[in-house]
Structure 1
């Protein structure tokens, strides 16, 4: 028992070199898994469909208020917009008011009407028209007639598709003023389902100003599965990792997505290993998207002491609920907000005896701003989030009399994620670039499970991740260039850099490391593969004897 307790004490101190705030092995395992999840989530965000539809360019300069000098001209005391749904077109009235006091003639009036029409078009009201009724300008009032374009109906071109499909995807309803941005939102929600090939067409309705939104949809196989093999594990629990994932689309017929996956080290070694489970489900509702996910893992490793060897095991589980809402959408951008509540629990054991000091049950709430911007060929995604530790759902609380320098469960943590990429050349074999930045900062002392760590294939390639550099404040910047040399082969190269800020409160020395990598990836049929070689370029002095001269990694998968 004394030896067991001694080993437990060793685990409590941690295994990372010379940092008193170092994460325990269980927390290191969790940080490694989190880095992989964040990389996958970043890829998924950047892969969301672009559904911006081409629309006629504005024929006039909307920023100009210049009018031609004409004789005769009439001084405008008031510009009045008449018609239905005026509340939605208040921006037009505000624009027209800018011409008050101007003396205009026939050409100037026509220019004002064209500019107002172009402004409505730029806002997405592509079927709305603005006319000029017969009138006398002797009173100084110019009246413009608004004829809003409205949606007569939204329908699929196939009768077997239930209405619940479009009702869950589109924020617009029959009778609403037709706005292309709302239709693009619905089209995007439909296209998020991988097994659906969706197109949309506007067809004139029976009455003037009415339009039918006709959706053509082709369904593929609603379920998919894949198996994978990689070497992203740790030496202590098994480098080789195998996984299997199944996806089901439209299980509830509301454009929902369900995924279930399992993973394991795939080793017959009973002294070490990892096993994991994950599941997620998401469903759209117009401008909203609701999702929930859970993932759990357990590990086992063997630790040798002077007297004996001991089995060290641990478990962790996570559950989170998220709701996302679109705030604004334009032809080349969209912005939204996300609220997420998550709970995480973990336990560590030595020879079946729990290390109570490493028992965790934490709850957090996170608010994030999301933005996507298109700049020519470049697509950029930004996520700025603030997370707080809260006592909800039985979350751990700080001990009475906690030292101000000690880690806290009531932390505040801000993260910034930026991902951008695009084609550098056109043609069938384009050269493309991709960059990703992640940074976090906190004024609080954090537990190791909330650290950001750098050094590994998902953060700074060139390091094996066995001895990561971690802390409360820091981040990494990944950069790569790829070339589609063949439909099944795409060589790539990249340079990554990571930095952890020094924190004397927690004994974190910090430092900067960088690495370079060269690899190739490809797809053929249902097969996908990725292999690379990475080398460290720079690292803190204390890490030099811990890091290898190079790393080799691979991943292979088959989807069916």
Structure 2
């Protein structure tokens, strides 16, 4: 290639008349590639079976004691071996509710039931209260806490034994046996696809202990997946395909791994996109460690008048995330996570790198996630705070130095999702709202800005243009109709989104709305999603198709 025309373009690029504005197209392509990577990462991640515990059905009836006139009243309740259970159970406070009531068999049984129910609700399902020999006529009642402990944890005969139990359960031999810890261990084992797991408690070798007997069968240790969709851009190629290879429990530590590759179908050096990614996840009791790395690139012609030249972008993303389950019971669980991400972006005009556009960024993200079961519904909420941090090798970019961008920019995000099933006559339906909010007090680079107007945020738009800003929100509303006979689901949705402060400092055109109808389903190992969308409201002169058709197809084995 002759570089003399290229030098001319670099010197006089602002004066060249393009058939369309290349700068918005290039910025939009960066936004589009970023949104696609987030969607790919979400779709490729393996989600195991969620374990929802059952609440205690014992009758508590706090304060309902049976008294008769002239009886011997309870003056004091002493709980022996109280130190063997956690202090936060406050069993002594529960026991003190009986003080002043009659010391009789009915009240004794009721008090024991109250204490055991308190432990049962906290997950200590093998702990009990016993009544030792009493000193008659004193009004002093003595009860003993018999804490249930773990005996042996072992696989049953005939189970698949390529598994390490030590990092799976957050409890060991001799520790207090807690149902929530069993549920966490079961969840860690059931995160592996093609695996059947059952847990049974049996009497231990010593009094007060229970053995944890695990029956486990892993039918397959690897998987493959292929996909095809039309989520690409018209500038790089609309049709895309990819493949992923999974290893399930490769090291016997209930870990997961995948490697994926993808590209536009008609890939060329000057037009197309491609990507590959690596993901690894391993649990350790209540903890989990996730590692993710990806590389993405795209190329698009500069313009019709400069068809021999193309714009090329490359990005690399490496992140490590550590999460810890803070709390769980029969109806909810809360998780805290910390993620450190290293990002780099490089841009080229044909084969010449544009030094002023390169970026090397590192950000720290803290997130608090909560899942709540409400009758038959499920609510998921995540609140996160992200901040760019300076580490060795991270220099402020030209964009930051001269355009007012903070190198330590801050971002707050709130993500709310729900699944609410309901019946309409004989029809089984569900409502799945999704609310997402981003707020930043800072001016953000394009890779961190909030955007709406594609199949992942406000649907009904073709995704070739977006509204962007430092802050904004969208609400997605979808009603689904289940058709189990055909293994299909019909759905219809209406979305609305708003940019609070536009990236171009314009007050015009800050919100949009769109609608979509579609069908998705599965047939054997083949999954598909077909949809049609249209804008309901859009800013004046906002470019998009009147009707947007789209599809995605997956095959897994």
Using the size of structure 1 for normalisation, the TM-score is 0.90
Partner of 1:15: 23
Partner of 1:475: 473
Q: Indicate conservation of the 8 Å contact 1:369/1:383, yes or no.
A: yes
- The residue correspondences of 1:341-490 to structure 2 (distance < 5 A) are 341-397=340-396, 406-425=404-423, 430-485=428-483, 486-490=485-489
Partner of 2:253: 254
**Whole-angstrom CA distance in 2 between matches of 1:207 and 1:396:** 63
Deviations along 1:498-527, whole A, 9 cap, x unmatched? Answer: 111135884475511111111111111111
Query: Residues 94 and 381 of structure 1: is their aligned pair in 2 closer, same or farther, counting only changes over 3 Å?
Result: farther
Partner of 1:50: 50
Instruction: Could you list the structure 1 runs, at least 4 aligned residues long, displaced by more than 6 angstroms after superposition.
Output: 8-11, 398-401, 426-429
Q: Indicate conservation of the 8 Å contact 1:125/1:179, yes or no.
A: yes
Between 31-40 and 181-190, the greater mean CA deviation after superposition: 31-40
Q: Secondary structure at the match of 1:213?
A: strand
Q: Find the partner of 2:43 among 40, 50, 66.
A: 40
Query: Residues 222 and 85 of structure 1: is their aligned pair in 2 closer, same or farther, counting only changes over 3 Å?
Result: farther
Query: Residues 528 and 327 of structure 1: is their aligned pair in 2 closer, same or farther, counting only changes over 3 Å?
Result: same
Q: Indicate conservation of the 8 Å contact 2:295/2:316, yes or no.
A: yes
Deviations along 1:158-195, whole A, 9 cap, x unmatched? Answer: 46644853222110111111110000000001111112
Q: Secondary structure at the match of 2:166?
A: helix
Query: Residues 276 and 504 of structure 1: is their aligned pair in 2 closer, same or farther, counting only changes over 3 Å?
Result: closer
Cα displacement (A) at 1:303: 1.4
Query: Residues 162 and 397 of structure 1: is their aligned pair in 2 closer, same or farther, counting only changes over 3 Å?
Result: farther
Partner of 1:67: 65
Query: Residues 30 and 95 of structure 1: is their aligned pair in 2 closer, same or farther, counting only changes over 3 Å?
Result: farther
Q: Secondary structure at the match of 1:261?
A: strand
**Whole-angstrom CA distance in 2 between matches of 1:374 and 1:249:** 28
Q: Secondary structure at the match of 1:380?
A: strand
Q: Secondary structure at the match of 1:104?
A: coil
**Whole-angstrom CA distance in 1 between matches of 2:522 and 2:552:** 12
Between 358-367 and 92-101, the greater mean CA deviation after superposition: 92-101
Deviations along 1:191-246, whole A, 9 cap, x unmatched? Answer: 11112111111122233322111111111221111111100000110000000011
**Whole-angstrom CA distance in 2 between matches of 1:470 and 1:401:** 18
Cα displacement (A) at 1:32: 2.6
Query: Residues 250 and 432 of structure 1: is their aligned pair in 2 closer, same or farther, counting only changes over 3 Å?
Result: same
Deviations along 1:78-135, whole A, 9 cap, x unmatched? Answer: 4322127524255143433652753433233332221111111111111111122221
- The residue correspondences of 1:83-102 to structure 2 (distance < 5 A) are 83=81, 86-96=84-94, 98-99=96-97, 102=100
Query: Residues 428 and 213 of structure 1: is their aligned pair in 2 closer, same or farther, counting only changes over 3 Å?
Result: farther
Query: Residues 39 and 458 of structure 1: is their aligned pair in 2 closer, same or farther, counting only changes over 3 Å?
Result: farther
Q: Tell me: higher relative CO, structure 1 or 2? Use CA pairs within 8 A at least 6 residues apart.
A: 1
Q: Give the aligned length.
A: 546
- The residue correspondences of 1:41-440 to structure 2 (distance < 5 A) are 48-54=48-54, 56-61=56-61, 64-74=62-72, 76-83=74-81, 86-96=84-94, 98-99=96-97, 102-106=100-104, 107-136=106-135, 139-158=138-157, 161-162=160-161, 164-304=163-303, 306=305, 309-397=308-396, 406-425=404-423, 430-440=428-438
Cα displacement (A) at 1:143: 1.8
Q: Find the partner of 1:556 among 540, 547, 553.
A: 553
**Whole-angstrom CA distance in 1 between matches of 2:479 and 2:383:** 25
Deviations along 1:467-488, whole A, 9 cap, x unmatched? Answer: 0111111122222122222343
Q: Indicate conservation of the 8 Å contact 2:159/2:216, yes or no.
A: no
**Whole-angstrom CA distance in 2 between matches of 1:529 and 1:123:** 43
Between 505-514 and 139-148, the greater mean CA deviation after superposition: 505-514
CA RMSD of superposed structures (Å): 2.8
Q: Secondary structure at the match of 2:216?
A: strand
Cα displacement (A) at 1:140: 4.9
Between 86-95 and 273-282, the greater mean CA deviation after superposition: 86-95
Query: Residues 98 and 465 of structure 1: is their aligned pair in 2 closer, same or farther, counting only changes over 3 Å?
Result: farther
Cα displacement (A) at 1:401: 10
Using the size of structure 2 for normalisation, the TM-score is 0.91
Partner of 1:521: 520
